Amino acid sequence: MARTAALSETYADDHGCGCVPRPAEPDPDTIADLMQARAIASGLAEFGIGPARWSAAYDHQAAAAVLRVDTLRGLYALAIPAPGQPFPVHHRGERIGALDCRRAYGTADSYTAALFAAYLRDRAALDLPGRDACPTPQNMV
């Protein structure tokens, strides 16, 4: 009998049974925020931002679900706010602005994705395909 008990304890020690606390399950609001962050990220594919360049996770510092996008100028983060609030944008840990839309039931995730892509483009952080087709002083004759 002692041999069986020793075998069980060894198995438990080897596999970490009971020694590591189980992570807390996120609440339903956090899960909904993460789902919205992923939905916005899927809309960014239209602008050439694939899954290799974005991540959606809960940020404890911002206390919100955050969509992070790796750009030419570094990592930009779009926080998912409380309903009725604008979507804040963070860069290098600081809030640098917000999108021109609020989180509301009628705001489409594709619209939010388009605004976020335009926000990144306007800051020269995102190179959108076809951008050189627009007349600028550099390419006008």
Residue 13 belongs to some domain of the structure: no
Phi-psi region of 87 (alpha: psi -120 to 50; beta: other; left: phi over 0): beta
Q: What is the pLDDT of residues 9-62, one digit of tens each?
A: 555 455 555 666 666 777 889 999 999 999 999 999 998 888 999 999 999 888
Please report whether residue 60 resides in a domain: yes
Total number of domains constituting the chain: 1
Amino acid at 66: V
Asked if residue 59 is part of any domain, the answer here is yes
Q: Which residue has the tokens 């570094």?
A: 74
The pTM (predicted TM-score) of the whole model is 0.72
| Six token digits for residue 48 | 């050439």
The answer to whether residue 102 is domain-embedded is yes
The whole domain housing 102 covers: 28-127
**What is the overall mean pLDDT for the chain?**
80
Give the span between the Cα atoms of 42 and 28, in whole angstroms.
Answer: 21
